[in-house]
Amino acid sequence: METFLLWIGVIGFVAATAYFVLLGTRTPPGKRIFHVITAVITGVAAFSYLMMATGAGATMVDGGRLFYYFRYIDWVITTPLLLLDLALLGLASPRRNAGFIAGLIGLDLFMILTGLLAGSRSSGFGRGFWFIVSTVALVALLYLVVTRLFSEAAGQPEAVYQIFRTLAYLTAVLWAFYPIVWLIGTEGFGAVNSTVEVLLFLILDFLAKIGFGLLLLTNREALDQVGGSAQPSRRRVV
Ligand code: RET
């Protein structure tokens, strides 16, 4: 069952990548940046699911627990790219905000790497400690997204601001579920078995990567306006 679910992941991500590439070929070359980033995100996920489905991306730890370490390799590449998508949408001048983008990505990498430590420790104390460190980084990261990035995005053209807002909320909600699944799964308290954990991560991964990509890449109006002139009136952020 678990392997079957992982193969669903492979098929879903391969199909999404093909679709995003197709959408990219129908877009003028100078406007393809979001297609490229998003197709790389789903492409990396397809490879990661392939590794897990074939057993190459997992290892036995603690005498019997199957640790899917390839998830972390996936996340270390794809989560910065998801943040990059959001930053390029929200910031009128990404170049001038390069330091802020680097800060967001740095915090994100710290979160994933400390999460990897949490997942791979064998002592309960070690796992709990690194879990808390990683979760603090996640809270700080999401705080920066809903405060600073949101107020910058308020100056963007209407269609860009709308899709930014949808995607930023989607990100904040979905990302918050990852540590919850981790905690109830085999790396945490083991309240659910490995198959249920794989299923829950599959649903989250589909929504956070494919759902995100579909909403963004099928919104032609926003993609046309992004990088254009910012509106003079600043919207209030609620
Ligand atoms: C871990 C466990 C330790 C605590 C925290 C975690 C957060 C993981 C997140 C992953 C997001 C992944 C995404 C993948 C692609 O779609 C590592 C589970 C805070 C937020 C969005």
pLDDT, one tens digit per residue, over 13-45 is 999 999 999 999 999 888 899 999 999 999 999
- What is the token pair recorded at 228? 């254009």
Instruction: Using the predicted structure, report yes or no on whether residue 230 has a pLDDT greater than 50.
Output: no
Selection from 68, 70, 72 nearest residue 108 by Cα: 72
- What is the token pair recorded at 131? 């879990």
Q: pTM here?
A: 0.93
How many angstroms is it from 75 CA to the middle of ligand 1? 7
CA-proximal residue: ligand 1, atom 2 (nearest): 115
- What is the token pair recorded at 111? 């979160």
CB count, 10 Å around CB of 163?
Answer: 21
How many angstroms is it from 178 CA to the middle of ligand 1? 5
SS (H, E, C) the chain: CHHHHHHHHHHHHHHHHHHHHHHHHCCCHHHCHHHHHHHHHHHHHHHHHHHHHCCCCCEEECCCEEECCHHHHHHHHHHHHHHHHHHHHHCCCCCCCHHHHHHHHHHHHHHHHHHHHHHHCCCHHHHHHHHHHHHHHHHHHHHHHHHHHHHHHCCCCHHHHHHHHHHHHHHHHHHHHHHHHHHHCCCCCCCCCHHHHHHHHHHHHHHHHHHHHHHHHCCHHHHHHCCCCCCCCCCCCC
- What is the token pair recorded at 219? 């919104």
For residue 187, which atom of ligand 1 is closest to its CA?
A: 2
Confidence of residue 233 (pLDDT cuts 50, 70, 90): very low
- Is the minimum distance from the CB of 49 to ligand 1 under 6 angstroms? no
CA-proximal residue: ligand 1, atom 8 (nearest): 178
pLDDT given for residue 228 in this prediction = 57
Selection from 57, 25, 10, 20 nearest residue 40 by Cα: 20
CA-proximal residue: ligand 1, atom 15 (nearest): 205
- Is the minimum distance from the CB of 111 to ligand 1 under 6 angstroms? yes
Contacts of residue 75, Cβ cutoff 8 Å, sequence gap at least 6: 112, 115
User: Which domains are seen in the chain, by residue range?
Assistant: 71-225 (1.20.1070.10)
How many angstroms is it from 19 CA to the middle of ligand 1? 25
How many angstroms is it from 17 CA to the middle of ligand 1? 21
- Is the minimum distance from the CB of 9 to ligand 1 under 6 angstroms? no
Mutational test site, ligand 1, from 70, 75, 181, max ligand atoms within 8 Å of CB: 75
Confidence of residue 238 (pLDDT cuts 50, 70, 90): low
pLDDT given for residue 237 in this prediction = 56
For residue 204, which atom of ligand 1 is closest to its CA?
A: 16
How many angstroms is it from 201 CA to the middle of ligand 1? 10
For residue 116, which atom of ligand 1 is closest to its CA?
A: 17
pLDDT, one tens digit per residue, over 47-89 is 999 999 998 888 888 767 788 889 999 999 999 999 999 999 9
Which one-letter amino acid corresponds to residue 10? V
pLDDT given for residue 67 in this prediction = 85
Instruction: Using the predicted structure, report yes or no on whether residue 234 has a pLDDT greater than 70.
Output: no
How many angstroms is it from 112 CA to the middle of ligand 1? 6
CA-proximal residue: ligand 1, atom 17 (nearest): 115
